[in-house]
Amino acid sequence: MFDDHPIHASVRPTGRSASQPGSLAADADEDARLAAAFERHVKDRNFPCVGAKSALARGTLKTLICHDLTSSWDDLPIHRELLRWSKDYDSDPAGLRSLAIVFRRSRTMSEQVFEQHMWARIQSLSDKDSWLGQSADSAVSGDPDDPHFALSFGGRAYFVVGLHPAASRPARRFERPVMVFNLHDQFENLRKEQRYERMRDTIMDRDRKLAGDVNPMLGRHGEKSAAAQYSGRLVDDDWSCPFSNPREQAE
């Protein structure tokens, strides 16, 4: 998916000197604008993901503004936020929640290039989690070909939804690159409560009405690896996930 108000946080880039007059104020203004724009995007009546809408309404959609999808500069603060997100979920697992990383810098990139940089960020964040001794979530697999694949941060499993300006699916388009981190466990809870299929069908129907057809990349949670769905790009059966499980490499 994507306390009565969404929480917005900002990671300021150092690409510009802090001594430049007005640069910090300009950054803060742009960050606030991007956070508000993303909130409007989710609120839009045509946006199909009812789970993200629910998280926004409950105040559990957090937007973190960072610098550049193509740079590792903000990977440490993003990873720290993921650790906090996992810890907070352990304390209060009720409801749906999402952590959206909106990248301030916009550059023209194809779906393939977006996918490449998105997975580079995922690899970097996963490497840091392993290097810092964080455990993997034992309920999932770190193998991107496994039907139960998920990423692990702070001992909790996640999957990622990517959005960017050049996305072919309307639901995946936003004015800046975005990576939305969703907790895997919340979908298992929906399954146990027999709510998952209903929510999935609602999202697919809304997406079909928005795009004019059914998203061929959507599969049922747990039936096949969701890695191919992360970027939103249409890929064929020959697609290979550009991710290596850092914990397997460390063994």
**Distance in angstroms (rounded) separating the CA atoms of residues 13 and 39:** 22
User: What pLDDT, in 10s, does the model give residues 74-95?
Assistant: 999 999 999 999 999 999 988 8
pLDDT at 10: 40
User: Which tokens is 216 given?
Assistant: 């061929």
H or E segment and range at residue 179: strand 178-183
pLDDT at position 14 is 33
- What is the pLDDT, as a whole number, of residue 134? 97
**Whole-number Å distance between alpha carbons of 159 and 144:** 11
Give per-residue pLDDT as tens, 17-65: 333 334 566 688 999 999 999 999 999 999 999 999 999 999 999 999 9
- Beta carbons of 159 and 218 less than 8 angstroms apart: no
Closest to 163 in 3D by CA, of 109, 237, 243? 109
Report yes or no on whether pTM surpasses 0.85.
yes
Residue 6 confidence (pLDDT): 34
The encoded tokens of residue 103 equal: 């990248």
List of the chain residues with pLDDT < 50:
2-22
CA distances to 74, 161, 236 from 228, rounded to whole Å, are: 24, 10, 9
d(CA 148, CA 42): 28
Return the SS3 of 143.
Answer: coil
Type of residue at 123: Q
Up-side HSE of residue 227: CA atoms within 13 Å toward CB?
26
Residue 47's CB is within 10 A of a number of other CB atoms, namely 19
**Residue-range domain boundaries for the chain:** 8-250
Helix (H/G/I), strand (E/B), else coil: 51? helix
| Length of the chain in terms of residues written | 251
Q: What confidence score (pLDDT) does residue 183 get?
A: 96
